[in-house]
Each structure stands twice: as structure tokens, then as C-alpha cells.
Chains A and B, each alone.
Chain A
Amino acid sequence: MIEIKNLTKKYGQVVAVNNISFNVNKGEILGFLGPNGAGKSTTMNIITGYLPSTSGTVKVDGYDIMTHPAEVKRRIGYLPEAPPLYRDMTVTEYLKFVSNLNYVPKKKQKGQMADIMELVGLTDHRKRLVDNLSKGYRQRVGLAQALIGNPEVLILDEPTVGLDPRQIIEIRRVIKALAKERTIILSSHILPEVSAICERVVIINKGVIVAEDTPERLSMGLDRAMKLSITIVGPKDKVIEAVKKIDGVKYMEASSKTGENAYKYMLESQTEEDIREKLFFAMAENGWPIIEIKPSVMTLEDIFISVVTKGQEVQ
């Protein structure tokens, strides 16, 4: 649905986005992750046709943004970092204006606006001036604006920034509901948000893509090994010896004593292969009960930091 190829954007001497390429498939939610100033907003501004790229191509549904801007813009709903609102208009007036900008037929406007306001929870606020709305509601108006014209693609730049936790959950719910029939790119520097919503994550730092995968696979660690934290009741040395005999175990070490005869171990497998079953039967054979198995996953935070700092070391 969205193809980005060798995209570069320079502001004078400063390279904001450096030769990035990625695709987003139809119906997918892609998380676009990076620290502030990594080039997320610039990339989004280019995809939506607000800024021209220095080089490289962006295609949406097969249309190139440079040669067919109107076709692309018709297919994209964009919520920029700061919602582009006119404060002297009421919510309804504003959405009507956006409908006209997007050439929504007059007959359809009312119904569509009502549906969208219902979806994002603005129905009760439709007659209020944008100026008098709280930040959370303004964000909703911004989201509603992006949905006008029923675009197939949504580009959301930090859609939950500045909202309170309840509103964040609410907006995420809305985004997930939208995702059923749309392709979405969502940027954020808040990691749990991305792992909560997105099917795939692209991490960008200093204008370069540093990682790209599903949140789960990224969480397994970049070296693709499975890490477990286990507690087994049994003689320490014998347990280690027995576990190391299991196929695929790369590393096993006792980390602490947690009870009489019970030890906590750190275990790492060689591959992505799940060794928990084998582990269970091996221990059962010996009569050493496993009282805890916890996959020790890297949180996206860990990944993010490791990826970003790795990038710095290379430089």
C-alpha cells in the first residue's frame, strides 16, 4: 500500500532522513518509532505530500506523491503532531470545511461526520468552539479531521501525546477499531504504545532505520535467542548439568537462591526454538519441580536503547 524507497531529505547541510526504505502492507498498523528529532515527522510530512523529498520515491496505492499528488492526498488522512485546527470554528463547522477540502459529496457529509464524531467521541461536543475544548478533545478533533473522506491510509504523528492515561486508552481503542479496514502508520516515542497497537515496528534514529520487525520478535532480543528466568527445586549443580544436556540450550547459570534447595537460574537458548517443554520433561524425569518459568523478554525500551546506542557506537 505504501512503498518508500531510498527516501532522503536534507535541510541545507543537515540530513534529516537518510536513504530510508520500507513498505507498509494493506491493512497493517506500522509503528514508527524513534527519539525526538529522529526524522519521524519529516518522513510523515513527505509521505503526505506536505514536504517534497530531496531524493527517493514515495508511492501510495501505486501513485507517486511527486507526480500524482492529488491521488495520493485523497487516499491519506493525516494527523500531524500539532492538530491543524481553526480555533474560531465549532467542531461541526471545522469538519464540514475539511469535508469540502476533501471533496466529500454534500449529500454524504452529514452522515459521515456524524459517524466519525460518534467513533472518536465528539458527538456531545459538536457545537462547541475548538478554542474552548481541552487538549484531549482537540486531539480527537484532529483525529476526526484525518478520517474525513474515508481515506484508506492514516498517518498519525504521535496521536496520544499530551493526553491523560484514560484518554490515551480511549484513543488507542479508536485506532485499533480503525485498523480493521485501513492501513495505518503511527509514530511515537512512547514504546509501550507501539507494542500495544502495532503489528510491525520500524525504529528510526538520526534519519536511518536501525531495526524493523514485529514487537514480539524485537522483544525476543536482537540476537534471536530465547531467554528464560526459571526457578527449580533441586540440587544446583546437578540441575545445571541436566539442563545443559537439553538440545538447544546455550547457557545456564544460577543467579540466586530463593528458598531451601530452590534456585533461580538464567537460561538462554541457542535459537528461537521454544525449549520450555523439553525443560519440563527433563526436570520431571529427575523429580525436580519447576516452580517458576518466566520468559525474560527485552521490553521495547531495552531494545530501543540498545539499538539506538549501538547506532551511536558505529558512528
Chain B
Amino acid sequence: MFTVAKKEIATYFKSPIAYILIGLFLLMISILFWTPFSAGSGDFMIVLENMGFFLIFLVPILTMRILAEDRKNGTEVLLLTSPTSLTKIVIGKFIAMYFVFLVITVISLIYPLIMVRFGGVFTVQLAGGYLGFLLLGASFVAVGVFASALTENQVISAIISFVALLVMWMAGAFSAEVGGFLGTLLSWISLLSRYDIFTRGILGLPEIIYFLSFTTLFIFLTIRVIERRRWIQG
């Protein structure tokens, strides 16, 4: 499990992709950060909420190659014919992706720290907000890994996860409009409404469990998809 994770992390930091993503994300946060800061507000929560939105763009680029590339390059054979089980391989890949996400998150902590330095307060709410961000990130990464298992084309994988995340992000807003069964369905996959709880400064146990189950579900689905594909074709 950690063999795969370690290898993938090394791959990301050896290639420019990790650095480009980190740079891109920091640029986005910087722009966001300017708004409350220039207005003299010390409220980082608004930034945090928007950071969640930017993950929709960031995560698909991060995860697009994680399984698709193995399939395209034929290295999938190596992994699947090794004594290491598929579950361990997929979890290892997820851990690697989440690690890169964590690195980005840790670097983004610079901004709240700047605020604290200039008179803001690092509140419990903010810590809770970051917890929400970490949970949201796990769910996003799981969706991204899942999308990468669906195709051997990285671009298609990125588009699938981008669209999926966008739908999940906006589902909450639509669910009230649509109503009925479809509305209920949409509210189930609404990540934003759960994330909002955190950025409002509330630490909700149901939401924590929701995000963790969501992540687990998509890791499980990833494993199933790969298994199923092997049964159907070659």
C-alpha cells in the first residue's frame, strides 16, 4: 500500500505537475485573499469557502493520470499480477493523491498565518473550517481517482471528474428548486451544503461522517470498476 503511495508521490514531485498545481492554487488563493484583506476584514472563512470551489479545477488535474496512465502504459499489468492486492494498490494511489493535496493545504496555511500576524485571530472556527477543507479534499480526490479508473485517456478522466465535482458542488442549489425524488437525490450528493456547515464555523459530526463515507464509497467504486473492467474485456 505504502509502496504504491511512495512511488506515486515521488512521481508527482519529480515531474513539474505538483509544482504547477501548487503554484496555481496559491495564485488563486492570493487573489481571493486580497479581497477580504483589502477590505480590512479578518475573516478567512470566505477565502476558505472559495478555496473549496477552486478544488473543482485543481483535483481533476491532480488525479487525472493516477490510474489512467498505468492502463495506457501497460504498467497496470505489473500492478495487477503482483501479489499486492488491488485494494491496496488503489488505496495506495489515493493516499499519494491525498498527500499531494495535504502539501498544498499546508502551504495555503501561510495566508491565515499572515492574517494572525496582522492582528487577526486564529480561531477554533478557522481550525474547524480547515478540517472541513481536508474532508472535502478527501472526497474530491476520491472522485478524481475514480474518474481516472474509468478511462485510459487522461484528458477524458479530468473532464469526467471536473463535471462530476461541479455537479456535486451545485447539486445543493438545485435540489431545492427541483424538489421531489430528484431533489432528494441531488441533496445527497451535495458536497457544498455540507462544506458550508464547516465554513460557517460549525463542527458537525454528521457532516464529518458524510465526507468520510463519501470518500470510502468512491474508493470502493474505483476498485469495483477496475475489477469489472477486467471481467468484461481485456
Contact = CB atoms under 8 A, between A and B. Distances in A.
A84 B230 contact: no
A98 B82 contact: yes
B231 A52 contact: yes
A114 B149 CA distance: 35
Interface residues of A, number: 34
A42 B74 CA distance: 14
A298 B35 CA distance: 85
* Chain B interface size range: 20 to 34
Given A11-B233, A51-B234, A52-B231, A74 B83 contact: yes
B102 interface: no
Nearest to B4: A101
Interface of A: 9, 11-12, 16, 42, 45, 48-52, 70, 73-74, 76, 78, 80, 82-89, 93, 97-98, 100-103, 145, 149
Given A50-B230, A51-B234, A84-B76, 7 more contacts: A50-B80, A52-B230, A80-B77, A84-B78, A88-B11, A101-B3, A102-B82
B24 interface: no
A100 B83 contact: no
Contacts of B14: 88
B3 A97 contact: yes
Contacts of B123: none
Interface of B: 3-4, 7, 10-11, 14-15, 73-85, 230-231, 233-234
Contacts of A98: 78, 82
A100 to B, nearest CB: 4
Nearest to B88: A101
Nearest to B78: A84
Of listed A42, A50, A51, A84, residue having the most chain B CB within 10 A: A84
A101 B82 contact: yes
15 contacts: A9-B234, A42-B234, A45-B234, A49-B80, A49-B81, A52-B231, A70-B85, A73-B82, A84-B74, A84-B78, A89-B7, A97-B3, A101-B4, A102-B82, A102-B83
